Structure 1
Amino acid sequence: MIGYYFNLALRSFRRNKVLTALMVLAIALGIGAAMTTMTVFHVLSGDPLPGKSQTLFYPQLDPGTRDEYRPGEEPTAQLTRLDAEALLKARRGDRQALMTGGGVAVQPQRAGLLPFAADARYTSADFFPMFDVPFLYGSGWNAAADEAHARDAVISKALNEKVFGGGNSVGKTLRLEDTDFRVVGVLDDWRPVPKFYDLNVSRHGYGEAEQVFLPFSTSRDLELGRSGNMNCFDERVDGVSATDVGAPCVWIQFWVQLDTPKKAADYKAFLENYSEQQRAAGRFERPTNVRLRDLMGFLRHNRVVPDDVNLQMWLAFGFLLVCLLNTVGLLLAKFMRRSSEIGVRRALGASRGAIFMQCLIEAVSVGLVGGLLGLALAYLGLWAVRQQPVEHAALAHLDPAMLLMTFALAIFASLLAGALPAWRACQVTPAIQLKTQ
């Protein structure tokens, strides 16, 4: 019976080509706009580490002075070097890593290749297993290398291809800032979205991953250039630089892996005890104020999805609603124009349910065609997004899940638009229609 109703819908389309085209276009425009913005939102708000994000936590402490203190305010987003190294040494988590961003000059030994700058990440050994970083060759360094301030380096796949021609470069020498480093690992393609482990380098954290990863301890020995936010909350002692251990400056990110809820609760208690100890020692002046958010909570708190993306999505769905209202009006006009035909069918024994189903399937048919056209418009819209000069533009691609969502939304929208016209059509009184013939 459903096949028969689809056949009737096709005949109706042929009889009312202009009206059908207007309905298809209305749904297509609404679907195209909605799916373009929804896809961008889906990409930017996704879980960067599915299955593991609930075990990764970002600790925050409040080492500030009493000046301008307001009870209940958010602690600083980063840690001092002293606190970060103390938490790392305590090893209270299943894994833990401190880190900061930086930049280095790469001095390749390859003929014809001039020195160039590369983004760097100074971190500790657990960074790689904690964040499930994929390796093409080799692996990360170990905790002993951190302690020994080793000249070890992990490089990206792109840097490996540029400097070493793409082969297995583990064990080879890479010269950075006039210092020789031994390559211990080469990353495979890796670009977490968003780049959650450090939201301080770029505005919303959608940049590329770094090209060079070095032990944090080594980076401080060599005084390599750093990047990212730094906030000094008190005056420094003469002769102490902002990156020294005793400097009252927050500039380091710290992540910890806690595999069970109990471990997370215990770690928060540890942070509170640590804060109390530092206050008793005279370092922390403010009352204990700690935070321990999991990865997704951390991203929500930092509102990594740009406000304009949220606004665009809601505007697009508002436009889709307007398109649906226009489609409702067109379907209503189309079905009411066929009142005499419906009256004859009802007089010949067709039930109201049969009439309702026929009209609803006709609306769904319009939605399916509109969905196909809307999909093409969504691809066009995403192409336009990728041309914008924003850091997340290159990520705007329609994945299989959003492809299915396009048709699901088209069918749902057409059902929603067709429900009222179909109900009005099945209320047609056969006797009145037959008398008017």
Structure 2
Amino acid sequence: MGKYYFKLAWLSLKKTPLLSLLMIGTIAIGIAASMTTITVGYMMGQNPLPHKSERVAMVHLNSWDPSQPIGYRKNGEVDIPSLLTYQDAMALLAANKADKHVPFVSFNSAVRAENEDVIDAQLHQIRSTSRHFFSVFGAPFIYGGTWSEEADQQGQSVIVLSKRENDRLFQGANSVGEHIIVGTHLYRVVGVIDDWQPTPKFYVNYYDMYSPTLPFFVPLESQIQNNFFSPTTMGWYCWGDGPSSTLQEVMLSECAWIRFWVEFESEDKKHEYFKFMEDYTEEQRKVGRFARPEPNRLMSVTEYLEEEGAVSEENKIGIGFALAFLFACLCNVMSLMMTKFHGKGGEVGLRRAVGASKQNITVQFGFEAALIGFFGGVIGLLLTQLGLSALTDMYPEYHVNVMTMDITLMVSTVALAVSTSLLFGLWPIYRTSRVQLSSQLKSL
């Protein structure tokens, strides 16, 4: 029976091609506009670590100057930096109260292969962190693995590369054991991670969440010992003018510049860690630090994303406008369906005369509305891809993942078109199924 109704719907579309194309095109444009905006919002706001986002947390100890009400601006509002001083980060590492610790910062340096000339070196931003970075945040290795605990503690000159940089420097071969030169220091490759781009890149600050993942990773202590210092890229905040001449001055100061994440095996350990943070704060207050009244924070991944405003208000407003545009398009489609179905009154009367029930008529035109929605959804999906491609060119600072639909969104696009076409076709279908049999037969 379904095949029969599908055939009737297809024949009906072919009878009025211009009107059918107009309805399909209107749905397609509305779907494309809304799904382009929804895709960006969905990809920006999804949970990037769903299997353990509540067990991974960002540590915030409020050591900021009590006399200064402003730390930095986030989404147009003042806030205190979600960063730690060097002495606090080292104290948390030494206490070893979490299952895994991930302090990190970044710096700029020229990078080249061991056999390349100095003029071939390229300036890159490098992530200095701990060996736990890759397991906590889920970075997959294709060669080798992370460095050892001794490398963390001793600041050994070891490095992990991204697949992209391994392809550039070593033509994609297994480079574990090879060496590259960072600045003037020789670093041994211990691992290569595969293409990896969590969306959003939740472990950094809000304005860097959609940029590409950094291509190089070294131990934090290695940065310290080799004196890599990039004031413009380290993202550090100091009281007043603050020290700015050397890395050692920043380390000895109250400057906040190290982001610190931890992972726990259980909620109980998380609660115990927060109690440890409170005790540590009280100890520091006794020596004149941590004088601000704001409490410490231990935020899960989802809480941190919300705190940082991963999806901006402008994006939410854009989604609202896009859905309003889709509603307007569907209202036009409903009007066109009313015209089309009203013109089929004679056909309806004839079908009723030969025994078709109102339910049969409703199903027939329901199939037609669904078919219109399906074609509109498919074309809308193609237009959405074009729109996302255009946005990728317009906003090169955003990683391509932000502008890419996954299979869930693709299916949802067509499903949205079909369901809304049916929904807005209910009134025209109802009116058509209620036509007076006698008046329509007289018009034949």
**Structure 1 contact 85–98 (Cα < 8 Å) conserved:** no
Identity %: 34
Structure 1 position 416 matched with structure 2 position 423: yes
For the residue of structure 1 that corresponds to 2:113, the secondary structure is coil
> Aligned-pair distance for 1:5?
1.6
1:240–1:337 Cα change, 3 Å: closer
Partner letter of residue 211 of structure 2? G
> Aligned-pair distance for 1:110?
2.3
1:18 maps to 18
**Structure 1 contact 93–258 (Cα < 8 Å) conserved:** yes
1:7–1:162 Cα change, 3 Å: closer
Q: Unaligned 5+ residue runs, structure 1?
A: none
**Separation in 2 of the partners of 1:49 and 1:243?**
36
Structure 1 position 105 matched with structure 2 position 93: no
Matches within 5 A, 1:117-132: 117-132=123-138
1:54 maps to 54
**Structure 1 contact 240–246 (Cα < 8 Å) conserved:** no
1:206 maps to 210
For the residue of structure 1 that corresponds to 2:199, the secondary structure is coil
For the residue of structure 1 that corresponds to 2:175, the secondary structure is coil
**Structure 1 contact 242–248 (Cα < 8 Å) conserved:** no
Structure 1 position 77 matched with structure 2 position 88: no
1:414–1:339 Cα change, 3 Å: same
1:265 maps to 271
Partner letter of residue 44 of structure 1? M
> Aligned-pair distance for 1:166?
2.6
1:239–1:366 Cα change, 3 Å: closer
Q: Unaligned 5+ residue runs, structure 2?
A: 71-77
Partner letter of residue 85 of structure 2? T
1:403 maps to 410
TM-score by length of 2: 0.90
Partner letter of residue 58 of structure 1? M
Partner letter of residue 12 of structure 2? S
Structure 1 position 196 matched with structure 2 position 202: yes
TM-score by length of 1: 0.92
1:322 maps to 328
2:75 maps to none
Partner letter of residue 384 of structure 2? A
Partner letter of residue 252 of structure 1? I
**Structure 1 contact 58–255 (Cα < 8 Å) conserved:** yes
**Separation in 1 of the partners of 2:228 and 2:194?**
25
**Separation in 2 of the partners of 1:125 and 1:171?**
17
> Aligned-pair distance for 1:349?
3.4
> Aligned-pair distance for 1:306?
4.3
2:8 maps to 8
> Aligned-pair distance for 1:120?
0.3
Matches within 5 A, 1:186-335: 186-199=192-205, 203-226=207-230, 227-233=233-239, 244-287=250-293, 289-335=295-341
Partner letter of residue 275 of structure 1? T
Task: Please provide the CA RMSD for this pair.
Answer: 2.4
1:288–1:32 Cα change, 3 Å: closer
Partner letter of residue 103 of structure 1? N
> Aligned-pair distance for 1:57?
0.6
Partner letter of residue 66 of structure 2? R
**Separation in 1 of the partners of 2:355 and 2:235?**
76
1:343 maps to 349
Deviations 1:269-305 (A, max 9, x none): 2222222221122111123511111112211221123
> Aligned-pair distance for 1:314?
2.4
**Separation in 2 of the partners of 1:58 and 1:166?**
34
**Structure 2 contact 212–399 (Cα < 8 Å) conserved:** no
1:429 maps to 436
For the residue of structure 2 that corresponds to 1:169, the secondary structure is coil
Residue 99 (structure 2) aligned to one of 84, 94, 109? 94
Query: What is the aligned residue count?
Result: 433
**Separation in 2 of the partners of 1:346 and 1:410?**
30
Partner letter of residue 308 of structure 2? N
Residue 189 (structure 2) aligned to one of 174, 183, 194? 183
> Aligned-pair distance for 1:102?
0.9
**Separation in 1 of the partners of 2:33 and 2:46?**
20
For the residue of structure 2 that corresponds to 1:251, the secondary structure is coil
